Chain A
Amino acid sequence: MTVARFWRKIPQRYNLIGTKCQTCHRHFFPPRTFCPDCRREGKIVDHKFIGKGTIVTFTIIQTAPDQFTSRGPYVLAIIRLDEGPQMTSQVVCDPSEAKIGMRVKSIFRRIATDGESGIIHYGTKFMPE
């Protein structure tokens, strides 16, 4: 990906900055700039998520795309954040440890690399709480 495409989402990727709607108090991560419930009545502002949640479902990726620094096996999960929304992320743990319902907290990690000379993507992963 180009530098700009990665760079413009750095606050969201590094620090779990999502959004919330001040009209209905619903939280969004990944961030949305339009509330699907309140529509034009909605008022969206930034919101920093605490970074704690629960594993809803997960898998162990055995065959991973080349750009992923941990080319597998790695745990990929859907995590329900304590504020409500669900997101997809890697969980840093022994694959045999991962369980549905497991509590996790966010950590800052390297996600992927664009080849030998491309940019390194950092972002949020999770680990057992």
Chain B
Amino acid sequence: MRDVAVIGVGCTTFGEKWHSSFRDLFVEAGALALEDAQLSGEKIDAMYVGNMSAGRFIEQEHIGALIADYAGMATRHIPSTRVEAACASGGLAFRQAVIAVASGMEDIVVAAGVEKMTDVEPGATTDALTGAADREWEGFVGATFPGLYAMIAKDYMHKYAMTREQLAQVAVKNHYNGARNPIAQYQQEITLDTVLKSTMVADPLRLFDCSPITDGAAAVILAPLDRAREFTDTPIRVLATAQASDSIALHDRRDISTLDATVAAGQRAFKMAKLTHKEINMVEVHDCFSIAEICAIEDLGFCKKGTAGKFTADGETALGGKIPVNTSGGLKACGHPVGATGIKQVYEIIQQLRGEAGKRQIDGAKIGMTHNVGGTGATVAVHILGRI
């Protein structure tokens, strides 16, 4: 297998983008990535696009071809493939692109993610998202996504001593980081009170424990490491790519508040990179709900099971802490255009590794990690990236 590098990145701003269509979003992100790599579109050999539910959100399927067409690639007939794994679609698109380059099959490959969520009314958006869980045996009996993660939170808080305030600190910290990220949907800091007094959605989760509905797109360009310097002075090496799956329904898990797919993908990634959690400078984890970040940092091995609440409240996951988590603001504050999230996580880590993260820059960042979850943990993608 060949070593793979990221040579260019681009991302739209995230938010409720009433003036931008699905096509506008991915064309913008792709153009930014090409400009960043100082690359002409004619050099692109293949594309992989993460997208969860364009069929439900904009009644459009056949996304691979649509994107190739509007990116100006239709007449060159390059292969363009849509990748779907609910909220992990972006992470899997990145992984497929890495595999394509590593295998030697393709040289210059785009990995992108896009989701346009605000062109249907919110009830329809929420219903489409429920398809990431088991529709027959969770959705049909009244489960919602906040409801499923609330049951994880209830189980966690029953087993371990985490306070409601410690859980809320995840959202406070992510909003602090989002306020320092110019692409974030919410660039406002919040207090513990904001979270604790927000509307109850599914006990114990409140509105400010939940990530929002977001429009956005992100793209990165990959090349063989030995060709990377043709395009950029700051190539970032892909040190590991890992993916794991688990039962589609939460009720079939070995332990409700451990994401075994996160544990498996994390261990595979560390093994592939020949690294441990101690060498990771910052990590973007999948905080679709505050409890998801708590489980993620434990299941990836950054702290012991049952201690992430205190770890977070002590500031260990904040900028300047032991392991800064979600420097972008995470899904909570940066936003969660589901198919784009996995690529945005890579975008954030690349910015950190290049020293371009501005007010949220981690000093001396050398190695970063991304963690992207589909559903309640039925798919997990983990990547490790390193400065050269």
Contact = CB atoms under 8 A, between A and B. Distances in A.
Nearest to A59: B150
B355 interface: no
A112 B140 contact: yes
A66 B200 CA distance: 18
Nearest to A77: B151
A61 B151 CA distance: 10
A113 interface: no
Interface string B121-154: 0010011001000101110111110110011111
Contacts of A62: 199-203
Contact of B142 (A9, A30, A76, A87): A76
Contacts of A1: 140
Contacts of B127: 65
A120 interface: no
A15 interface: no
Contact of B155 (A57, A63, A68, A87): A57
Given A60-B202, A61-B202, A86-B251, A111 B141 contact: yes
B147 A78 contact: no
A68 B142 CA distance: 7
Given A57-B154, A59-B203, A30 B140 contact: no
Given A9-B136, A30-B137, A59-B203, A65 B250 contact: no
B144 A63 contact: yes
Nearest to B257: A57
A57 B144 contact: no
A88 B250 contact: yes
B203 A64 contact: no
Interface in A99-125: 100, 111-112, 121, 123
Interface string A65-90: 11010000010111000000011111
A11 B142 CA distance: 19
A89 B138 CA distance: 8
B136 A88 contact: no
Contacts of A57: 151-152, 154-155, 158, 256
A34 interface: no
Contacts of A9: 136
B226 interface: no
A62 B147 CA distance: 9
A76 B158 contact: no
A127 interface: no
A58 interface: yes
B123 A61 contact: no
A77 B143 CA distance: 9
B249 A111 contact: no
B202 A59 contact: yes
Q: Which of B130, B138, B142, B203 has the most CB of A within 10 A?
A: B142
Contact of B251 (A64, A87, A100): A87
B203 A88 contact: no
B142 A78 contact: no
A86 B202 CA distance: 20
A63 B142 CA distance: 11
A63 B122 CA distance: 12
Interface in A1-37: 1, 9, 30
A74 B137 contact: no
Given A30-B137, A60-B203, A63-B202, A74 B142 contact: yes
B59 interface: no
Nearest to A68: B142
Interface string B198-213: 0111111100000000
A113 to B, nearest CB: 12
Given A61-B147, A65-B126, 12 more contacts: A58-B151, A59-B205, A60-B200, A62-B201, A64-B144, A66-B123, A76-B147, A77-B151, A78-B151, A78-B251, A78-B256, A95-B203
Nearest 8 pairs of A and B residues by beta carbon: A59-B150, A57-B155, A60-B203, A86-B251, A30-B137, A57-B151, A59-B202, A78-B251
Interface of B: 123, 126-127, 130, 134, 136-138, 140-144, 146-147, 150-155, 158, 199-205, 249-252, 256
Interface of A: 1, 9, 30, 56-66, 68, 74, 76-78, 86-90, 95, 100, 111-112, 121, 123
